[in-house]
Amino acid sequence: MSFSLLGLSPPLCAAAGAAGFKEPTPVQNQAIAAVLQGQDVLACAQTGSGKTAAFALPLLQRALDAALAGRGAAGERRAHTLVVVPTRELAVQVGEVFKGLAQTLPLPLKITVVFGGVSINPQMMGLRRGTDIVVATPGRLLDLVDHNTLALDAVRSLVLDEADRMLDAGFSEELQRVVAMLPAKRQNLFFSATFAPAVTALAQRLLHKPLRIDVLPQTGATPDITQRAIAVDPRARTQLVRHLIQEAGWSRALVFVATKYAAEIVADKLRKAGIDAEPLHGQLSQGKRTQVLDDFKASRIRVVVATDLAARGIDVVQLPVVVNYDLPRSADDYTHRIGRTGRSGEAGLAVSLVSADTQAHWRLIEKRQSLDVALETVEGFEPTLTATATDMSGNGGVKGKRPSKKDKLRAAAQAALPHA
């Protein structure tokens, strides 16, 4: 099926082609017509499936139609489309998709991207003459509303991109405030690569008769990612990563760790070993984060050691390797992490380092992801520690179904959200 048959105008069909979509991907094929018709959508599609364009294309079409019909008195621009994302990096990426697709439109649309970690003043100045589409992180969005710089009473389409992260610590309360400011009659679109039960419950409260889209990996469509698991003692992990980088000749590698402290330490050790490496975590300034990512994409640095803020929204062309230095707490986060490689038809490699005390953790990730990855060793780095009965019991530290205190607080905040 072509994009034109889905209801998109010729300029947007051309924009889709320029973005590399020869024909609609499965999620685009199912979502575009529904979004154009104003229907609510709950879409789950794997990373790299084109889900951002699946909502950006039809929302741009609706924005263009509204602009051509007139914005009201004196051509007033009022935000009618709001895209809420969990991280600064994802805000930038989504904004770039919208702006790229909008370049061929016969009437210019103003697309504003706002996020924290930088001065609010330029963003306030940028909104002075209004806007058509806003892509925002929750905190900065509320700051701009509190400064009377942005009004949400004209929003007719709300998108939660990576919706499951919206319920992470700090987002539930902010999301509750945002939803309360929106018109009761609006279109709601939830998009993500995974949907935890909490997101499904939220969708039931906010979405009205949504079209449910589940795009599962299919034969031939699954990203070409080779997955390896290497047994190693915790203290030998950095040396092993250095060995793998040098022996295999990896041009670039994204290494995931659990904390900002670990990101700093591991990056420092790699630099001392002669490997260009930089940390990436939430405590860095936005300018520094942007610089690290720009240098990484341009191959000016070889390794980025990141916390999970980089698991979503980071699109690095031809990234060959992802390393789980620390295993992710959530099995879903494993999907998002390794999804940074093997994109756009390229082959990728995902390496997970498994120590004696995280073997149960790894086995549960395997079970939940339907994986069967042999636990191998590398010569010279064979582990000396063995798993104890305690290590192998329980859920191995992977977030399970039994609600934690954090889960209970999140559920309480979610229950307080108003209905659509």
Give the tens place of pLDDT for each residue, 311-327.
566 777 789 999 999 99
Which strands form 348-354's sheet, in the order they lie side by side?
277-280, 303-306, 253-256, 321-324, 348-354, 225-231, 375-376
Contact between residue 91 and residue 117 where contact means Cβ atoms under 8 Å apart: no
Query: Is 71 buried (19+), middle (13-18) or exposed (0-12) by CB count in 10 A?
Result: middle
How far apart, in whole angstroms, are the C-alpha atoms of residue 275 and residue 266? 11
Whether residue 38 has pLDDT greater than 90: yes
Whether residue 396 has pLDDT greater than 60: no
Report the pLDDT value the prediction gives residue 400, as an integer from 0 to 100: 47
Whether residue 341 has pLDDT greater than 60: yes
Mode of pairing for the β-strands spanning 81-84 and 348-354: unpaired
**Which contacts (CB < 8 Å, 24+ apart) does range 76-79 have?**
76/130, 77/110, 77/129, 77/130, 77/131, 77/132, 78/130, 78/151, 78/154, 79/112, 79/130, 79/131, 79/132, 79/133, 79/134, 79/150, 79/151, 79/152, 79/154, 79/155
**Which contacts (CB < 8 Å, 24+ apart) does range 2-9 have?**
3/28, 3/32, 3/57, 6/32, 6/33, 6/36, 7/32, 7/33, 7/36, 7/58, 7/61, 8/32, 8/36, 8/57, 8/58, 8/61, 9/61, 9/64
CA nearest neighbour of 420 among 162, 155, 165: 155
Identify the structural domains of the chain with CATH numbers, from first to last: 4-217 (3.40.50.300), 225-376 (3.40.50.300)
Phi and psi at 278, nearest 5°, equal -140, 145
- Banded model confidence at residue 390, pLDDT cuts 50, 70, 90: very low
Mean per-residue pLDDT for 255-278?
96
**What is the tens place of the pLDDT at every residue in 70-98?**
654 445 678 999 999 988 888 988 999 99
For residue 354, give the 3-state DSSP assignment. strand
CA nearest neighbour of 99 among 88, 84, 109: 109
CA nearest neighbour of 41 among 262, 211, 256: 211
| Max mean pLDDT range (12-16, 36-40, 198-202, 387-391) | 36-40
Our CA dihedral for 225, 231, 235, 238, rounded to 10 degrees, sits at -30
